[in-house]
Every structure is written in C-alpha cells, then in structure tokens.
C-alpha cells in the first residue's frame, strides 16, 4: 500500500509525463483511450507483402506507392490520421485513399482507424486501375514494366502524369532538363527511359523510388531499375489509348508473384427456366441427398427472402415451384434428395394446399412438413426467424418491397447465422418489431441506403431495443451492386470459391445463396450491362477473382451472358475452364 507521500509523487510523475510530451505512454498505461501509433516499419513491411500477395500485385510496386504516398505512415506523431489533398474530401492514410463516398462514414472511419483496411483498399484501387487502363504487353502481372499505366492511374489517369506533356510544359517555362536518350518528335526535348524532367510524372517518381530506395525503404526492397515506356511513344496530349499496341519496355524485370495461377474451374447451372436451374444446383450440391429441403414459390420473392438463413442452418437446398401445383421436376428432385422434412415458405397463397397434399401423397405427411408463414411477407420473415435454433447476436433489417438488398447479404446472413427481417421504407411492421424484441440482438445491420430503409426505421428499431448508436450499422450504396460491394467489404468472407447470379431477378440468387453457404463460397450479383459501369463491383470482383480456383454461375446466358463471363475472366487475369 502506497503511503500518502509516495502516492503524491506518483501523481506528480504522471503530470510531468503529460507536460513532457509523453502523454501517449501515460494514456496507454492508465486506461484512457490511447492515441494511434504507427507500428514498426518491419510490421508495415510484412503487412504490405501479405496484402500484395493476396491482391496479386508485385510487392515492390505496392511498397513504393505506399512510400510515395505517405512514407509508410498511417498516423502522425500526434496520433492523427495522415490526410492529404484538401477538405472536404481528403486522401486518407498510408495509401492516401481518396476514392470513397463522402456519405459513407463507416468506410471513412475504417480507412482512418484500420491500417490493414487502408492498405487493402489501396491495393484494390490499384487493381481497379490495372483493369481500367490499356494493357501493356502480354498483361503478365509479374512483369514490373506492365504496371506503368496502372501506377499512373493510381494518382490520376490524366495528362498531368503524361511525361511527354510535362516535358513540353517544362520547356515552355524555361526549365532545364537533363540530357536523355534521344529527343521527342518535333522538339529538342529528351525522351526515353533516360529522360527525367524536373517535374516528374507520378509513376516516374514511383519508378525512381524502386531504383533508388530512400531512407528506410532500402531495407525492405531490393533496388530495381524498372524500364519506362519511351516518352516518344506517348500521345502529345491526353492519356495513352487502348487502341494502340503497347509493348512491354525492355529489359523486363519480374516481381515476386508466384507463377501463373491455374485456370478457374467454372460450372454453370443453366436449366430451361428458374425451376430447372434450382433443381440442377440442388442435385449437384447435395449428391448424397439432403436431410431437409426448403421450398419456395418461383414467381414472387417476399416469402423467400428470409429463407436463406434457415436453409443455411439446416444445410438444405432451396427448391422453387409454381404456386398452385408441385412442379414435376421438383417432385423428382425431392425423391432423389429424400429429405426427412420439407419446409414450405409462405402461406397457402404462396404454396397452395394442393402442394401440401401432393407432398403427403409422396410420403411427406403433415409431420414431415413445416410451413412457416405470417399474415404477410413481414410476418413470414418473422416466423422464419423464430424457427432458427441458433442464438441471434446480430439481425439483418432490409426492405420487403424489393429483393436486391436482401440477396446481397443472404449468403453472409446464412453463414453468420443472422436472421433476416423485413421492413417498409418508413415502417417497422409489428411482426418485425415483435421478432426483434424476442431475438434481442446486440447488433442490427440495415442493408440499403436511406431511400430504401429510412432513418425513421433506424430510429424506431434503435429506440425499441434501446441499442447504442454503434450497434446500428447501415451498409448501403448508390445502387444494388454498390450495396453488395459494401456488404462484402464489411464482412470480408475469405474463400477461393465464388458463386455468380444475376442481380436483375431473384430466383437464381435465392437458390444460389443457399448453395453458396453449403459450398463455403461467396455470392456475387452480376448486372446485365458491362461491369465497368459499376466501379465498386469491379473492384470487389478484381479482389475476389485473384484468389479463386472455382466458380459457379447460376442461370443461362440470358441471365449472365458470355460477355460478362469474359469480363470476369479478364478482371481476375485468369483463364476460365468450363466444367460439365
């Protein structure tokens, strides 16, 4: 026990430490929230290498960019995040990420607080640029020279990083330039890899760092003279064109990526219609049969939206049938799968009494049928949530008025054992409220922006359960594909298997979500138009496809075309090998 004099001395010491600039140490030692501190360079180096490997980027490229952007600093000596550019939209952290939605406060905070997330986001952006810019040479990602345009675009895909434009501008302003290897056409300005104007392009600065690593960087990368594209070949204004063939500059230097990955094994479930596609995936995914089967109507979505967590808990395939009668193909599939019980989603208006009678005739009597229903779609979702045996620490709230947002999280909800409850745009239905109160979750995920699930619903749910603000997490984007990308980015499911379904309709994604959970795969919704129209989706796909070794496509070419399939192959820089 401290005596009074010694206790006073301790407090005096604490005060002195605060006064002497050692407040970070004191706050850590005495329980106050500590200031952010950068880990040692050795730790940052390891993180950069690991993430570069995950994202299929030569580590020297990612390391040099990170040094150019921030000198490998996520936080300042005062514990504040490193910000660049200008308000109100600054570049953030070690990778100086500036590609984010100003309204997406969750992502912004993670970019500030999470070093790994910031590095990964920067790597994803670099991969997005790789897929956006003209291809150099054979597109081999391990050839450092092939990254010239992607690194250019990481800063700005504009003529401000065109070395030829900069050289002309320097000459016009009277800036002296070192002698290079040759001259630009029509000028006396130096060109080629030997030219190095005083005002260098961003990518040339990164190349210079790789060639002559500064400060501590020399400890973590081996100097390499990456060959530049000859300035004389670049356009006199604007940016390089994809219509021009861009050879890999010589000599070529290789990075530390593993040898070319094997082809992605791809299987397409393409039946004559949605019912046939669902049957095909069930028989393929559960070749030894299934203890349970979940049955939903094929012609409308509400009753089935909340069914995937149930299917996941039961390890059951989802089959679709017409509303009035049990489809013959479904009847045959049930005989093959031979489940102990069949779960029917929705009331008799969704799956008619005749279907129940047919099941009974086939051997699934009333004791082997479980119908989950409510007075409406909200009540059915609530009834499904109550049927789940797993304790629900988290719950998903999403609109019951449309399907894309619910499908964007369906597989993840199943994997994470999260019930899916439905709400109106500005209404928290009584059935949903009662289910929430019964489940008593500690976290609620609202899927979709305020135009889909309003702040009124947010407030009603929060106040009804008396949850702190931090327990209510909204994941939403400008469209269904950006919302899905936000969900995938937040939950970060790591798997080498991918499942694709159209985001324009619900049946394939519904059965695909249950299949995805069964296969430990990630479900991704695909648009009909080019993936390039959805940058967030393209970035997500580029990230996921790098490590994939198998993929499943739900639906025929009318759902996901061969053009989209080719885009997916290109995004992953991997050949696709169809499987029967």
Which tokens go with 345? 């989603």
Is the pLDDT at 260 greater than 80? The verdict is no
CA separation, residue 310 to residues 45, 117, 514 (Å): 43, 32, 9
Residue 22 phi, psi (nearest 5): -105, 30
Q: What is the mean pLDDT of residues 106-130?
A: 93
What are the residues whose beta carbons fall under 8 Å from the beta carbon of 76, sequence distance 6 or more? 82
Q: What is the mean pLDDT of residues 161-190?
A: 62
Which tokens go with 326? 């049990």
Distance CA 525, CA 516 (A): 12
pLDDT tens for residues 466-511?
999 889 999 999 899 999 999 988 987 778 889 999 999 999 999 9
pLDDT for the residue 25: 36
Residue labelled with tokens 């590095």: 119
Q: What is the 3-state secondary structure (H, E, C) of 390-423?
A: CCCCEEEEEECCCCHHHHHHHHHHHHCCCCEEEE
**27: exposed, middle or buried (Cβ count in 10 Å: 0-12, 13-18, 19+):** middle
Question: Do residues 384 and 345 lie in contact, with contact meaning Cβ atoms separated by under 8 Å?
Answer: yes
Is the pLDDT at 65 greater than 50? The verdict is yes
Cis amide linkage into residue 83, ω under 30° from 0: no
> 7-16, 240-249, 305-314: which has the minimum mean pLDDT?
7-16
pTM over 0.75: no
CATH architecture of 39-258: Orthogonal Bundle (1.10)
pLDDT tens for residues 406-442?
999 999 999 999 999 999 999 999 999 999 999 999 9
Is the pLDDT at 378 greater than 50? The verdict is yes
pLDDT for the residue 124: 92
Q: How many CB atoms lie within 10 A of CB 544?
A: 22
Angle between helix 59-70 and 115-132 (nearest 10): 110
Distance CA 30, CA 22 (A): 13
pLDDT tens for residues 133-162?
999 998 889 999 999 999 999 999 999 999
Which tokens go with 207? 């190349």
Largest alpha-carbon pair distance within the chain?
92
Please state whether beta strands 550-554 and 264-269 pair in parallel, antiparallel, or not at all (unpaired): parallel
User: Which DSSP category does 233 fall into?
Assistant: G
Three-class DSSP category at 53: helix
- Give Cα 203 to chain centroid, integer Å: 26
Distance CA 196, CA 145 (A): 17
Distance CA 271, CA 367 (A): 32
Q: Where are the CATH 1.10.530 domain residues in the chain?
A: 39-258
Distance CA 291, CA 116 (A): 41
Q: Give 351's pLDDT tier (boundaries 50, 70, 90).
A: very high
Half-sphere exposure of 463 (CA within 13 A, CB side): 7
């Amino acid at each position: 026990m401290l005596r009074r004099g010694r206790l006073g001395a301790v407090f005096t010491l604490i005060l002195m430490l605060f006064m002497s600039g050692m407040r970070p140490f004191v706050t850590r030692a005495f329980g106050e929230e500590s200031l952010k501190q950068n880990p040692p360079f050795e730790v940052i180096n390891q993180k950069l290498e690991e993430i570069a490997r995950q994202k299929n980027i030569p580590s020297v490229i990612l390391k040099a960019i990170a040094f150019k952007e921030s000198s490998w600093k996520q936080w300042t000596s005062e514990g504040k995040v490193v910000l660049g550019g200008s308000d109100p939209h600054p570049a953030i952290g070690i990778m100086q990420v500036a590609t984010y939605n100003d309204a997406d406060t969750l992502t912004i905070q993670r970019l500030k607080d999470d070093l790994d997330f910031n590095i990964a986001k920067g790597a994803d952006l670099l991969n997005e640029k790789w897929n956006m810019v003209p291809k150099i040479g054979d597109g081999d990602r391990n050839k450092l020279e092939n990254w010239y345009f992607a690194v250019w675009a990481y800063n700005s895909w504009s003529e401000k990083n065109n070395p030829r434009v900069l050289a002309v501008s320097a000459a016009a302003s009277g800036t002296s330039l070192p002698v290079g290897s040759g001259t630009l056409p029509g000028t006396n300005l130096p060109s080629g890899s030997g030219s190095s104007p005083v005002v260098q392009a961003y990518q040339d600065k990164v190349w210079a760092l790789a060639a002559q690593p500064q400060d501590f960087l020399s400890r973590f990368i081996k100097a390499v003279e990456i060959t530049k594209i000859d300035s004389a070949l670049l356009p006199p204004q604007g940016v390089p064109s994809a219509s021009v063939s861009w050879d890999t500059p010589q000599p070529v230097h290789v990075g530390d990526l593993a040898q070319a990955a094997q082809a992605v094994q791809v299987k397409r479930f393409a039946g004559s219609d949605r019912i046939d596609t669902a049957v095909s995936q069930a028989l393929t995914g559960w070749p030894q049969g299934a203890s349970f089967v979940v049955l939903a109507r094929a012609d409308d979505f509400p009753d089935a939206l909340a069914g995937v967590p149930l299917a996941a808990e039961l390890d059951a395939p989802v089959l679709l049938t017409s509303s009035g009668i049990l489809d013959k193909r479904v009847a045959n599939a049930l005989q093959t799968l031979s489940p102990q019980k069949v779960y029917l989603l929705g009331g008799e208006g969704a799956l008619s009494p005749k279907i129940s009678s047919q099941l009974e005739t086939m051997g699934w009597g009333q004791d082997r049928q479980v119908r989950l229903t409510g007075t409406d779609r909200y009540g059915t979702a609530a009834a499904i949530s109550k049927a789940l045996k797993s304790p629900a620490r988290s719950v998903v709230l999403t609109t019951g008025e449309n399907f894309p947002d619910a499908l964007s999280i369906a597989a993840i909800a199943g994997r994470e054992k999260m019930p899916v409850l439905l709400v109106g745009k500005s209404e928290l239905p009584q059935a949903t409220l009662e289910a929430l109160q019964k489940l008593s979750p500690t976290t609620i995920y609202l899927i979709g922006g305020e135009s889909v699930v309003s702040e009124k619903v947010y407030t009603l749910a929060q106040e009804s359960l008396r949850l702190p603000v931090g327990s209510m997490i909204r994941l939403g984007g400008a469209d269904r594909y950006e919302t899905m990308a936000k969900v995938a980015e937040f939950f970060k499911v790591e798997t080498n298997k991918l499942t694709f379904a159209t985001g324009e309709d619900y049946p394939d994604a519904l059965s695909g979500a249950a299949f995805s959970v069964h296969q430990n795969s990630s479900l991704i919704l695909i648009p009909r138009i080019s993936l390039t129209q959805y940058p967030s989706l393209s970035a997500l796909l580029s990230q996921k496809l790098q490590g994939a070794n198998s993929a499943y496509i739900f639906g025929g070419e009318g759902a996901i075309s061969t053009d989209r399939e080719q885009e997916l192959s290109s995004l992953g820089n991997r050949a696709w090998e169809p499987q029967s």
